[in-house]
């Protein structure tokens, strides 16, 4: 029997491409899965946090969505500013979990906010550009970023 999985997808038009990850996991033979789509606006953040805290201890939590070195974000609506879902103030709800975070700079987010060794494991990633704006923003900081990549590729 596999340990339970809980997948939280911060769903907006820029993260729609992440939805097939859930289908791939289900098609891969996992059966003990809790799937939760967060959509804009999140009316009751406290309920989201309670849902995370109520997960059994052996659950692997997977977050899919936008992030940065200091936060993972709620779904983005149009060109609104990003709004943190989990940051330093509430990171403790993740600290005793097995946690996989598929968002930009999620490794920095974990490393920055983790104050003690996790009881499970935590997996994050570096920058994950998903559209031309991400690449353009990186090039503002480093003109050699993503050399050979153009808007038409």
From 64-68, 120-124, 142-146, the region with the lowest mean pLDDT: 120-124
Q: Is 149's pLDDT higher than 90?
A: no
Read off the tokens for 123.
């997996």
Q: Are 17 and 9 in contact (CB under 8 A)?
A: no
Q: Facing residues of 64 across strands?
A: 9, 102
Q: Facing residues of 37 across strands?
A: 9
Of 26 and 7, the structure prediction assigns the larger pLDDT to 7
Question: Quick one: pLDDT at residue 143?
Answer: 84
Question: Quick one: pLDDT at residue 105?
Answer: 87
Question: Quick one: pLDDT at residue 75?
Answer: 93
Question: Quick one: pLDDT at residue 2?
Answer: 61
Encode burial over 86-106: b for 16+ CB neighbours within 10 A, e otherwise: beeeebebbbebbbbbbbbbb
Question: Quick one: pLDDT at residue 116?
Answer: 62
Read off the tokens for 96.
């005793």
Question: Quick one: pLDDT at residue 11?
Answer: 92
Percent of the chain with pLDDT over 90: 34
Question: Quick one: pLDDT at residue 46?
Answer: 92
Q: Facing residues of 35 across strands?
A: 7
Report the alpha-carbon distance of residue 34 to residue 5 in Å, rounded: 6
E-assigned strands of 1-153? 5-10, 33-38, 60-64, 71-73, 84-87, 98-102, 122-123
Phi, psi of 122 (to 5 degrees): -135, 135
Question: Quick one: pLDDT at residue 22?
Answer: 87
What is the DSSP secondary-structure string of 5-35?
A: EEEEEE-STTTGGGHHHHHHHHHTT---EEE
pLDDT tens-digit profile of 103-117? Answer: 988 999 988 887 666
- Which band of pLDDT confidence, cut at 50, 70 and 90, is reported for residue 52? very high
């Amino acid at each position: 029997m596999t340990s339970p999985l809980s997948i939280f997808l911060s769903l907006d038009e820029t993260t729609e491409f992440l939805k097939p990850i859930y289908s791939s996991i289900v098609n891969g033979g996992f059966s003990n899965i809790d799937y939760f789509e967060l959509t804009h606006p999140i009316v009751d953040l406290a309920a989201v946090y309670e849902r995370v805290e109520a997960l059994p201890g052996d659950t692997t939590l997977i977050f899919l969505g936008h992030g940065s070195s200091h936060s993972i974000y709620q779904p983005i609506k149009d060109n609104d500013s990003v709004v943190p879902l989990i940051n330093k103030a509430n990171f403790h709800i993740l600290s005793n979990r097995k946690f996989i975070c598929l968002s930009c700079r999620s490794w920095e987010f974990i490393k920055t906010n983790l104050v003690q060794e996790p009881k499970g494991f935590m997996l994050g990633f570096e920058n994950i550009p998903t559209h031309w704006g991400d690449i353009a923003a990186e090039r503002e900081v480093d003109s050699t970023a993503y050399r050979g990549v153009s808007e038409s590729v």
